Amino acid sequence: MTISVIIPTLNEETSLPRTLACLSSSALTEIVIVDGGSTDGTLNLAQEFCARTVNARIITAPRGRARQMNEGAKVSQGEILLFLHADTQLPAQAGQVIESALAKHTAVGGRFNVRFDSPSVWGRVISTFMNHRSRLTGIATGDQAIFVRRHVFELLRGFSEIPLMEDIEFSGRLQQAGRTVALRDSVVTSFRRWDAEGPLRTILLMWALRFLYWVGISPLRLSRWYKVLR
């Protein structure tokens, strides 16, 4: 079973080195970095990584996380597509865990648990809530490193190229396509969004945006209310 990791980047020079360092020790078939027009040192870091990593490549695509991930999927070769945020680190055994979860051909995809790189109580509370909510509803966020069988991804026509909620929208369609796996293994992701705006304020904003999305407000309109920190 071959696994392609697809990483959309945009001005990620601070977070990307940790993410790539974790990938160096993982049993993964291919790494595709998709840059959306970075103006900092992201491209140099990615190029240096690809130069010393046989199974890694970098491409460019129009800015937009969903579009970048779709473009990365098009050029990748793996049977399994794993979409990884540039500020999120996979566990060393990620490849083996995914293979084991999908070995019986009964699941179309899945996601990891998440924990934050912050030692704060807020970080533990938020990640615990996210994991329980995801396990209960079957809906995953991009922070949880969504993975999917290639033929299922293509059948679903990839991510909807919307400015916000592309992960929520896709995981909902993925759940309708078949059984998904909620792994107990955790990825580690940045707490910067909560640190920047304050944990409580950010939680309330997330709840409000998701509620408005579920009642039919368009992602384009919602994106104007949400400052995306990458």
The ranges assigned to domains in the chain are: 3-193
Average pLDDT over residues 73-80: 96
- What's the pTM? 0.89
CA separation for the pair 136, 97 (Å, rounded): 21
Give the burial class of 104: count Cβ atoms within 10 A of its Cβ; 0-12 exposed, 13-18 middle, 19 or more buried.
exposed
Measure the CA–CA gap between 110 and 24, rounded to whole angstroms. Answer: 22
CATH class of 3-193: alpha beta
- pLDDT at position 186 is 96
pLDDT of residue 226: 64
Q: What is the pLDDT of residues 81-101, one digit of tens each?
A: 999 999 999 998 999 999 999
pLDDT in tens, 166-224: 999 999 999 999 999 999 999 999 987 767 777 677 777 777 777 776 777 777 777 76
As given in the structure block, the two tokens for residue 74 are: 């098009």
Q: Which of 108, 50, 58, 111 is nearest to 79 (CA)?
A: 108
Mean per-residue pLDDT, 104-132: 90
**Who's near 109: CB < 8 A, 6+ residues apart?**
102, 146, 147, 148, 149, 152, 153, 174, 180, 181
Show the tokens assigned to 78.
């793996």
Q: Which pLDDT score is estimated for 158?
A: 97
